Structures are given as structure tokens and as C-alpha cells.
Amino acid sequence: MDFAAGQGILGRIRFADGNMPEYDRTYLITAATDDYLEVLNVSSIKGKERKLFFPSNERLKIYHPPFAKPSFVKLDSLTKVYKTDWNQLKILCGGRTLDKNEFARILNLLQQ
């Protein structure tokens, strides 16, 4: 599979504590190499509006593509996914990427 920074993916990626989620989740690829992806957890806002007040969560101002619903990224969830775990990941929205300015804004927030 060809992955690219800015794409959204769906799948199960281990949490930082090592546990596997019980259902598929959405992620934003922040970096893609031949050997690994760096991803942020993405969650829809509906029913979780209070979580937008957490400093580690950032609302995506332009979320579509690749996400279908208003969403936020969890800036403290950056995870590395190695090639051996890519087989169950699905690329969202035909591989279309997040708006380039919005993606740059998120990457900037990650570096702060």
C-alpha cells in the first residue's frame, strides 16, 4: 500500500499503553516512510464537544477530505506504525489528503 502524509486511515493501532482498540479508529498520517507511518488519533466531535477544551486536542477546521465528519486530532497520541502492521489499514476518501494549510497547521502544533 502507498501511504502519504496528510491521508486519513482506518484501522486498529495499539494505544500507547499497548492495548489494542476494540474497533477500527480513524487516524491522520503525519509522516510516511518506506518502513513506518507516524499517525495521530482522530475522533469525531459529535458527543465529545467538551474534549475540545483539552489543550492536547485540536479541532480540524477543514476536515473533509479525508474525514467525513467534523473531527479533532489528539496531539498527544502520536504513534509510530511499522510496515508489519499495515496490512489491516484502510486509506480513507480514495487517498485524498487533508487541506495542505490545515495539515501544516497541525504539524506546527505538534512541534510546539
17: pLDDT strictly greater than 90:
no
Q: Write out the DSSP string of 19-39.
A: PPPSS-EEEEEEEE-SSEEEE
CA 33 to chain centre: 16
pLDDT of residue 74: 96
Quickly state the pLDDT bin for 18 (edges 50, 70, 90). confident
Quickly state the pLDDT bin for 102 (edges 50, 70, 90). very high
Q: What percent of the chain has pLDDT above 90? A: 93
- Options 3.30.450, 2.60.40, 3.90.550, 2.30.30; CATH of 8-111: 2.30.30
What confidence tens digit (pLDDT) does each residue in 87-100 have?
Answer: 999 999 999 999 99
Q: Taking the domains of the chain in order of start, what are their residue ranges?
A: 8-111
- At 27, which amino acid appears? Y
Provide the b/e sequence for 11-20 (b: ≥16 CB within 10 Å). bebeeeeeee
Distance of CA 100 to CAs 5, 19, 23, 26, 70, Å?
10, 32, 29, 19, 17
Nearest to 21 by CA among 29, 13, 10: 13
- With 0.85 as the threshold, say if the pTM is over it: yes
